[in-house]
Chains A and B, each alone.
Chain A
């Protein structure tokens, strides 16, 4: 099963823009006097798969929030596929192919699984304001059902999200991020709280994504992170602390002292 629709269109778009999916220049986000991230400069190429590591409060989620536009950064610039999106609202960035999952599931509790995924498919296509109900054979409905199946929730497709288990909600989070034709995805601790079997499933989904789709994954579990990422960025106290290949990071003396030693590994 293909997880992502219309790869050709996405490839076409990808070839038009520059080779970088994401470029951050001196991005800072202050919450009052606290700088959650300071002067972050980061480049991720199209199709690149990056892991972001860092202890609690290092600023990883804040970094994602700035990239997606959930928060506007206090200073710095953010370029998405070569375009300056620093002041764009979140929905404009999403329509350009950015996707994300949330560390704490942000779903539509009053709606069913199928409706949640259908909304995700609808959000990145036209007809968001349509007053006409979709036909039974509507392409987006079919597409939504495929995504529901891909995350093994077919049995629960008509269940209200509020009645799903924690693990199922995490899987639904992933389905929402795969809707439409994603070009770059931000995964915020997708494996947190999953069982070993569910983790293996997650790794399979991530590794099965088409090559043109890059992503950043925040992951405390080094086993997962190193199996799905080709490069690693370490964050500490809101700053980028180290960048390198998984091997370089794993063997780095400073990193081991700072991070691998403190019980997260």
Chain B
């Protein structure tokens, strides 16, 4: 009773009052970015950051909230991308059906979600390392299948000339429109994950992560909950995959090859899987390294191809010094700052 009365007397803050200053700054920076950076940064750096961030976000949702490390997310994204090419238009007129965007986009998301759900249904019966292995095996199978299948996936060459629809007279593949498109999708996916994490579904998923046995003893169907988490994550991965195929204007088996699958894992781990912002931080670091380290390497007389080595070393460093990624580093730094500011709270935080 006391609780309800309290709610009446104490003025509830508006939702935007709860957003802290750093988020306002970030929003301002992201919204005004096209004014002060060039098209290359917009399209190649930020576009890729949002896309890879979304796909890694779907992995973070499963790993961070569900305790399930799934390596299938890149394949689910690619499935979404392939379906856009197959049901929409591409350079492969014999296969592509040329449906309009309001049909092929939902179809692509639904098919990718079904694919992710089926993989989830197979994977949720395993735990830990076995989940990683079974999802990796299916990801590998998906790669080889798309490479060998010519009737649907057009085998080795895949699909080219897959571009976004000319909606509202805008060419969405131009750097600035694409920047805002991918930013909008990334923000929506991010907010969806933040919101769902505190909804009964997300809370129950965290319960399943912490203690599946107790969840069953509270009346939850743990298996169904895990599978549903795969479905939700697949929708996010599929949106990322659709943007990815538009960004590349093409899709081929290599899009979801094993290196790409591992890249998503690296991005999620480097960023940190404890909060949904982590994957985007990881994606930005990855894309910056990928984009600029070849120049740096060549300045030192090394082959530009070696940027993977840098990324691998960065991955090792992070895993070694901060298993919870850059987010973990940040949290510990904040905690230390808070402690040094106030000697009274010098204890454990």
- Minimal Cβ-Cβ distance residue in A for B219: A123
Task: Tell whether A108 pairs with B210 under 8 Å between CB atoms, given A134-B200, A145-B3.
Answer: yes
- Docked pose: A132 CA to B199 CA in angstroms: 5
Chain B nearest CB from A75 CB (Å) reads 22
Least CB distance from A242 to B in Å reads 29
**Cβ of B218: which chain A residues have Cβ within 8 Å of it?**
91, 94, 119-120, 123-124, 176, 179
Instruction: State whether the Cβ of B196 lies closer than 8 Å to any Cβ in chain A.
Output: yes
A109 partner residues in chain B, CB cutoff 8 A = 210-211
> Which chain B residues in 174-223 approach chain A with CB under 8 Å?
195-196, 198-201, 203-204, 206-207, 209-211, 213-222
B228 at interface (Cβ–Cβ under 8 A)?
Answer: yes
Contact indicator per residue, chain A 29-62, by CB within 8 Å of chain B (1) or not (0):
0000000000000000000000000000000000
Q: Is the CB of A90 within 8 A of B203?
A: no
* Contacting residue for A129 out of B3, B7, B214, B228, CB 8 A: B228
- Of the listed residues A91, A95, A100, A142, the one surrounded by the most CB atoms of chain B closer than 10 A to its CB is A91
Residue of A95, A122, A136 touching B200 (CB-CB under 8 A): A122
Q: Say yes or no for A196: interface residue by CB 8 A criterion.
A: no
- A257 contacts across to B, CB distance below 8 A: none
B147 at the interface (CB under 8 A from A): no
Chain A residue at smallest Cβ distance from B4: A137
The yes or no answer to A102 lying at the interface (CB within 8 A) is yes
Interface centre among A102, A127, A133, A134 (most CB of B within 10 A): A133
Residue B308 lies at the interface, judged by CB distance under 8 Å to chain A: no
B221 CB → nearest A CB, Å: 5
In the assembled complex, which residues on chain A have CB atoms less than 8 Å from the CB atom of B220?
A: 91, 119, 123, 128
Does residue A205 face the partner (Cβ distance < 8 Å to B)?
no
Chain A interface SS verdict (over half)? loop
The interface stretch among A110-118, A211-219, A221-229, A231-239 is A110-118
In-complex Cβ contact of A142 among B3, B214, B217 (8 A): B3
Known: A70-B217, A90-B216, A90-B217. A130 touches B199 (CB 8 A): yes
Instruction: Report if A107 contacts B (CB, 8 A).
Output: yes
Contact of B204 among A95, A107, A128, A134 (CB under 8 A): A128
Closest to A111 in B: B206
The complex places the Cα of A106 from the Cα of B204 at a distance, in Å, of 15
CB-based nearest B residue for A163: B348
- Complex: how many Å from CA A22 to CA B217? 17
The digit string for A126-152, where 1 denotes a CB below 8 A from any CB of B, is 011111111011000010010000000
- Measured CA separation A130–B200 after assembly (Å): 6
Residues of the A chain whose Cβ atoms lie less than 8 Å from the Cβ of B207? 108, 111, 119
Check: A89 CB closer than 8 A to any chain B CB.
yes
CA distance A41 to B88 in the complex (A): 65
The answer to whether A68 has its CB under 8 Å from any CB of chain B is yes
Contact between B217 and A100 (Cβ–Cβ < 8 Å)? yes
Q: Which residues of B have CB within 8 Å of A123?
A: 204, 215, 218-220
Using A108-B207, A137-B7 as known contacts, say yes or no to A129 and B216 having CB atoms under 8 A apart: no
Query: Is A133 in contact with B198, judged by CB distance below 8 angstroms?
Result: yes
- Measured in the bound complex, the distance between the Cα atoms of B198 and A125 in whole Å is 17
Tell me which residues across on chain B come within 8 A of A107, comparing CB atoms. 210-211, 214
Smallest CB-CB separation from A161: which chain B residue? B210
Q: A110-B210, A119-B207 are in contact. List 19 more A-B contacts (CB 8 A).
A: A89-B221, A91-B219, A94-B216, A100-B217, A106-B213, A106-B217, A108-B207, A110-B209, A111-B206, A118-B203, A119-B204, A119-B220, A122-B200, A124-B219, A128-B201, A128-B220, A134-B199, A142-B4, A145-B3
Can you list 20 A-B pairs, Cβ within 8 angstroms, ordered by A? A69-B216, A91-B216, A91-B220, A94-B217, A106-B214, A107-B210, A119-B215, A127-B200, A128-B219, A129-B200, A129-B224, A129-B225, A130-B200, A130-B201, A132-B199, A133-B195, A133-B199, A137-B7, A145-B3, A176-B214
Q: Which 5 A-B pairs have the closest CB atoms?
A: A123-B218, A123-B219, A108-B210, A90-B216, A94-B219
